[in-house]
Structures are given as C-alpha cells and as structure tokens.
C-alpha cells in the first residue's frame, strides 16, 4: 500500500527561489527511507510539504487517499495528527518535565488526563526513558533529549514519522542509538522519512535513499545498491 505520493511536485518560495521541481516518488506503508542532498537541495522543504508547513506551487502531494492541496482549516490539523515530526534541535520546553513535554501534543488535542498519562508512559518506554518522566530536559544528556523529541513525535501514534537531520548535533555513537530507535518503527506500523546529509550514516543504514540536487530528485537508490 502506498502511504505517500509526490506527483511532479514543485515549490517556489515567495522570494522566487525554486526549492523543488518535478519531484515524484512514492513511499509505501511501513517503509523507511532517507532524503539526502547538499545544503539547500530542498530536503527540509520536501518534509514541510508533507506536514503542510508549506504548500506546493505545482503538482500534488497525496497522503493515503488524501490530496493535501485540498485540505483547509480543521482538516489540516487532523492531517498533522497522523504525522510525527522530529527536529534536529528537539525543541523541548525547558521549564516542563519530560512527561509534560511528551504529553503536549495530546493536551492540545484535548485527550482525557488518564489516557494521556498512559500514552506518555508508553512512548517514553519505547525510547528507553521510562524512568525519567519527572526529570527536566536540562538534566538529560543530548542523546536522551533527542529521544524525548522522538517520544513526543510518537505519542500521537502517527502513520508517518518525519525527521529533519535528527542526528545532526550528536556524536556517532549517539547518532547510531537514535537511528536504531527509528529503524524499529516500521515494524510497529509507522513509516519513516529522514532528511540527512550524513553520507557515512546513510551507507551504514542500508535503507532506500532519495537524492535531491538543487531541488530535483536525481536518484532513488535501493538498499541493496547502496554499497556502491
């Protein structure tokens, strides 16, 4: 089953900059893939079109049966619930506990307290931080903070997890830990799309790699062809 489809997508910013052009690809349900390319190649823009932080100027982005160009208002919010986002700088609230940070998306959604507590505990256990609920972000290491960011992205049980350079600030050992966590998601029913310019990491991961160059999709490399 296809989860995500880009059909000849173009994005031109108001500045006139063409960030993406004629980009077409599909991501299957339960697939994990990377998007790579030089700085400014259009990786972040591609992820933003899926999360509807930006809208395409040409072509169509389809999520399941949904044409994202047609969504307005509340339907945009409902769409975003199906997508978890992990940022490089994790963006945790410094004055809130780990549990409160992870709970935030569910609080915004108006879920009952008990349901929130249960799902927060589950998400933190999933990233190996079940015992740090009451800690503040500053009391955690960089790798642990990034894991909290992942728990927050997973707590809403998204169909797709987007991560923009999720290992950018981490040393190689911590980066490998984070990737191992993300790698386990497809088996649990969450597809994963990761923007990364870390070539060494891409080679180690042996996953599909979409290559952007100046906004064009110039390669779509299958895992078995990655060694070359």
Q: Under a CB-based contact definition with an 8 Å cutoff, are residues 81 and 158 in contact? A: yes
Single out the residue of 19, 27, 86, 103 in contact with ligand ADP (rule: CB under 6 A).
19
Binding mask 37-76 for ligand ADP (x = CB under 6 A): x-xxxxxxx-------------------------------
Residue whose CB is less far from ligand ADP, 22 or 157: 22
Binding mask 150-179 for ligand ADP (x = CB under 6 A): --------------x---------------
Report how many helices (DSSP H) and strands (DSSP E) the chain contains, helices first: 7, 10
The beta strand positions in the chain, using DSSP E, are 2-12, 18-28, 32-36, 58-63, 66-67, 83-86, 160-164, 191-195, 208-213, 216-221
Residue whose CB is less far from ligand ADP, 103 or 163: 163
Q: How far is the CB of 27 from ligand ADP (least distance, A)?
A: 18
Strand, helix or coil at 120? helix
Torsion of CA 189, 106, 88, 95, to 10 degrees: -150
**Contact status: 91 vs ligand ADP (CB under 6 A):** no
The stretch near ligand ADP (CB under 6 A) out of 23-31, 32-40, 98-106, 121-129 is 32-40
**Contact status: 89 vs ligand ADP (CB under 6 A):** no
**Contact status: 149 vs ligand ADP (CB under 6 A):** no
Distances (CA, A) of 172 to 87, 168, 201: 17, 10, 9
Q: Under a CB-based contact definition with an 8 Å cutoff, are residues 212 and 17 in contact? A: no
Instruction: Report the interface residues with ligand ADP, using CB under 6 A.
Output: 13, 15, 17, 19, 37, 39-45, 164
């Amino acid at each position: 089953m296809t989860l995500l489809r880009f059909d000849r997508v173009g994005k031109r910013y108001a500045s006139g900059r063409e960030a993406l052009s004629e980009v077409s690809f599909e991501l299957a349900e339960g697939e994990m893939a990377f998007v790579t390319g030089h700085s400014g190649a259009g990786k972040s823009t591609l992820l933003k079109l899926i999360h509807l932080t930006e809208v395409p100027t040409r072509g169509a982005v389809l999520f399941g049966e949904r044409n994202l160009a047609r969504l307005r208002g509340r339907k945009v919010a409902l769409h975003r619930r199906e997508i978890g986002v992990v940022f490089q700088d994790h963006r945790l609230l410094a004055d809130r506990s780990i549990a409160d940070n992870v709970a935030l998306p569910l609080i915004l959604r108006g879920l009952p307290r008990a349901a929130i507590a249960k799902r927060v505990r589950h998400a933190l256990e999933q990233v190996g931080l079940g015992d740090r609920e009451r800690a503040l972000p500053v009391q955690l290491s960089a790798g642990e903070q990034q894991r909290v960011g992942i728990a927050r992205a997973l707590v809403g049980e998204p169909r797709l997890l987007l991560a923009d350079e999720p290992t950018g600030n981490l040393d190689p050992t911590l980066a490998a830990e984070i990737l191992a966590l993300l790698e386990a998601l497809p088996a649990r029913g969450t597809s994963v799309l990761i923007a990364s310019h870390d070539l060494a990491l891409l080679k180690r991961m042996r996953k599909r790699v979409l290559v952007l160059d100046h906004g064009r999709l110039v390669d779509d490399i299958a895992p078995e062809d990655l060694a070359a």
